[in-house]
Amino acid sequence: MILQNNFTVASAPIEVGEVQGVLRDERINDSSIEESAQEAFSRAHPVANLTTAPDYRRRMVKVLLKWTANQALESVKGGR
């Protein structure tokens, strides 16, 4: 997940293969999104040199992955 607007978790993008695999290999639904978000959360290790607390940024990984996946799913369902 790469976000701009001053939201960073690490100094470089980190790919979590397990998350990509779940979202690619399974039917995307609330359960697979939750599983992916939990996996990304468990693997996030934010740097501590920014003004926002690392724990907050780690929790936001889960929130933002869910939001992004749901937005993509809605876009596909809506034919956009």
Tokens linked to 27? 């039917």
Q: To 5 degrees, how large is the angle CA 13–CA 54–CA 49? A: 80
CA distance 2 to 50: 17
Q: Which residue has the higher pLDDT, 67 or 80?
A: 67
The count of C-alpha atoms lying within 13 angstroms of the C-alpha of 70, restricted to the half-sphere facing its C-beta, is 10
| Res. 80: pLDDT tops 70 | no
Q: Count other Cβ atoms within 10 Å, centred on residue 60.
A: 19
CA distance 66 to 32: 10
Give per-residue pLDDT as tens, 6-49: 556 666 777 777 777 666 766 788 888 888 888 888 888 787 77
